[in-house]
Amino acid sequence: MRPAPKGWCPTAEQPMASGDGLIVRLRPRYGRLTREAVFSILELSERFGNTMIDVTNRANLQLRGVSEKNDTEILSALYDLALIDPEQEAQPGRNLILAPNWDHGSLGEKLAGEFYDRLAELPPLPSKFGFSIDTEGQRSLQNISADIRLEILDAKTVLIYADGTTAGRTVSRENAVSAMHKLAEWFVQTGGRQAGRMARHLLEQPLPKDWQEVPRSVRHNAPLPPGQNDLGFVVGIPFGQSSASALRDLMNDSAATAIRLTPWRSLLLEGAKAVQTKGFILSPQQHLGQANACSGAPACQAASVETRKVAQILSAKTTKSLHVSGCAKGCAFPKTAEITVRGRDGRYDLILNGAPWDVPHTSALTQNQLIKEIERL
Ligand code: SF4
């Protein structure tokens, strides 16, 4: 049976229950954490959680497996270490994704700084509502979840547009953040909170023409690939999840001075060179495609099967979207995939075009039988 739908995004103050415990989400400013902050988070994950940490597709960090009795303690530890932003926590919907290749003094950094300084001026927004700032030359965030988007146009102007439209309004750099506020106010004043997200709202409520004057370009939109770049080294996190100990090895091996969270299940390790740490994706060739997998056995007590290794094997055998779930709860991807594999009593159920709680196409397969089934599809 399908789990109850979640109507909000987890935060630190409002963690969400998942199959393996509470999820505590951290949303660092600029998507950046210093080396010291990373080590503090790893310690907290080992002390209060199940040691598993997610990098989400909104460039946030999640501590998993926190028990309810530890909820208050971890929260006060996070506040003591200044790992929670009280202004972001004060109201929902203040989510910003900044293109992670920003440099110190760059336009993206400046606009994000102004955005954070003026958080309190934003109207009350739904918790899943978000903003993106994509002004570092080459665009990268067009396929990332956001409701109000800023993109670079030329040396003097940026384009602001509502998600779900093909055109936007040009504004000067100086007025860009004010324009984000104006569009957010239009959303709220026209009843957008009921819809929850901009694109959904626009199905019922036409956007005024003066917000759609200039067509947006869909060319040159690519994520930061794994490997070396001018700012450091990008490593992919397989399935968007890692153990605290693996991340500690990565920080020690790379000597990174800080990390930036990206929305592509990867980390930019600032100042790092030629990283070799095992268990991470170090080059574009190692990409795992569309595969999702939860932590599975033995990390999660609800699982009776391994998930990650199986997903790695299966992803090499199919180009279809793939989700391997340790049980019917589907924590890693509570949605429909072309191929969903669900663990049950030490065997695997195969579900086609469905979610982990749906009726399987084939049941109780061994790992070898499962691989043969996928090869046949
Ligand atoms: S086995 Fe996977 S899907 Fe099930 S509760 Fe654990 S993490 Fe969630």
For the sheet with 337-344, list strands across it.
291-293, 322-325, 337-344, 347-354, 362-365
Query: Which residue lies with its CA nearest to atom 1 of ligand 1?
Result: 326
User: What is the location of CATH 3.90.480.10 in the chain?
Assistant: 16-86+224-281
More confident residue, 243 or 295: 243
- Positive or negative torsion for Cα 186, 191, 197, 201: negative
Q: Extract the tokens encoding 317.
A: 């055998």
Reported CATH class of domain 16-86+224-281: alpha beta
Query: Phi, psi (5° rounding) for residue 362?
Result: -140, 145
Contact partners, residue 150, CB within 8 Å, separation at least 6: 111, 131, 132, 133, 134, 135, 158, 159, 160, 176, 180
Instruction: Measure the CA–CA gap between 193 and 124, rounded to whole angstroms.
Output: 8
To test the ligand 1 pocket, which listed residue (52, 243, 295, 300) has its Cβ within 8 A of the most ligand atoms?
Answer: 300
Instruction: Measure the CA–CA gap between 73 and 80, rounded to whole angstroms.
Output: 11
Query: Phi, psi (5° rounding) for residue 279?
Result: 95, 0
- Judged against a pLDDT cut of 60, whether residue 3 lies above it is answered with no
User: What is the location of CATH 3.30.413.10 in the chain?
Assistant: 291-376
Q: What is the pLDDT of residue 21?
A: 86
228-252 average pLDDT score: 95
pTM: predicted TM-score of the whole model, two decimal places: 0.86
Can you tell me which atom of ligand 1 is nearest the CA of 326?
Answer: 1
Q: Where would I find the beta strands (DSSP E) of 212-355?
A: 214-215, 227-229, 232-236, 241-243, 258-261, 266-270, 291-293, 322-325, 337-344, 347-354
Tell me, using a 6 A CB cutoff, whether residue 324 lines ligand 1. Answer: no
Digit-coded pLDDT (tens) for 346-373: 999 999 999 999 999 999 999 999 999 9
pLDDT classification of 5: cutoffs 50, 70, 90? very low
Fold for domain 291-376? Sulfite Reductase Hemoprotein; domain 1 (3.30.413)
Digit-coded pLDDT (tens) for 162-221: 999 999 999 999 999 999 999 999 999 999 999 999 999 999 999 999 999 999 988 888
Tell me, using a 6 A CB cutoff, whether residue 52 lines ligand 1. Answer: no
Instruction: Measure the CA–CA gap between 84 and 77, rounded to whole angstroms.
Output: 10
Tell me, using a 6 A CB cutoff, whether residue 241 lines ligand 1. Answer: no
